[in-house]
């Protein structure tokens, strides 16, 4: 199995100084157990996270940390990397096990990982400015879609609580009033060692969301 480096460079519009790096970025461990793309993937994952984080701060300067964190996660996960890899047709360049059936499709994880290893290789060969331009260009569509990323207050509060206290928020039904056809729920929520923040809603779910929003606002996350 041979890798057409010239065709791949043309596809990504980058001419490598060290073509061995490009070759390595497309080499799966099943093809070469020693000289493969695992460490480049490790590096590329960090480079991608840094550059997308930097771009999100530019696009959404008023967003809170929790919202930015969720947007970042939605942009750099394996599904997005697979999407990018397929847009570049990287599966046509990946070197996999020599005993593999030629008709057997390459697993999605391998294809997605090659997106990150390619980024790692570009960074090492070309430097930060080039890899930043490359990422922002091929992630243009995904970055535009990130404006629609929404996290409901209850989910956001749960993530914050688990991250900071390793515990879930505590919800408590304070009062249930109103007629059966138009009930009114009053629910409180608290974090570890905090007071209860109480809000109302026409359902338990709405009241919990409103209470979570109130608590998040008090600690500057919303």
How far is the C-alpha of 144 from the C-alpha of 76, rounded, in Å? 14
Q: Cα 155 to the chain's mean position, in Å?
A: 17
Q: Three-state SS for 217?
A: helix
- 85-94 b/e (C-beta count within 10 Å ≥ 16 → b): beebebbebb
Q: Is 45 a catalytic residue?
A: yes
Q: Which one of the listed residues 69, 116, 125, 132 is annotated catalytic?
A: 116
Task: State how far the alpha carbon of 170 is from the alpha carbons of 73, 127, 196, 197, 219, in Å.
Answer: 26, 48, 9, 10, 16
b (16+ CB within 10 A) / e for 51-69: bbeebbeeeeeeeeebbbb
Query: What letter does residue 62 receive in the DSSP assignment?
Result: T
Closest alpha carbon to 123 in 135, 113, 112:
135
Q: DSSP labels for 157-181?
A: HHHHHHHHHSS--EEEEEEEES-TT
Active-site residue, selected from the candidate residues 41, 45, 125, 208: 45
Residues carrying an active site annotation: 45, 116
């Amino acid at each position: 199995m041979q890798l057409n480096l010239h065709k791949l460079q043309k596809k990504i519009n980058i001419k490598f100084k060290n073509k061995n790096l490009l070759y390595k970025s497309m080499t799966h461990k099943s093809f070469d157990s020693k000289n493969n793309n695992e460490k480049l993937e490790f590096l590329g994952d960090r480079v991608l996270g840094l550059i997308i984080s930097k771009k999100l701060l530019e696009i959404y300067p008023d967003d809170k940390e929790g919202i930015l964190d969720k947007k970042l996660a939605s942009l750099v996960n394996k599904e997005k990397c697979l999407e990018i890899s397929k847009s570049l047709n990287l599966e046509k360049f990946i070197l996999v096990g020599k005993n593999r059936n030629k008709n057997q499709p390459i697993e999605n994880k391998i294809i997605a990982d090659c997106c990150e290893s390619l980024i790692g290789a570009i960074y090492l060969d070309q430097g930060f400015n080039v890899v930043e331009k490359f990422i922002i260009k091929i992630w243009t569509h995904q970055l535009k879609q990130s404006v629609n990323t929404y996290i409901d207050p209850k989910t956001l509060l749960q993530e914050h609580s688990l991250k900071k206290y390793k515990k879930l928020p505590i919800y408590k039904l304070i009062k249930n009033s109103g007629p059966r056809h138009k009930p009114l729920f009053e629910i409180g929520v608290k974090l570890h060692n905090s007071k209860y923040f109480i809000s109302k809603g026409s359902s338990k779910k709405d009241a919990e969301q409103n209470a979570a929003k109130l608590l998040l606002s008090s600690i500057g996350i919303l």
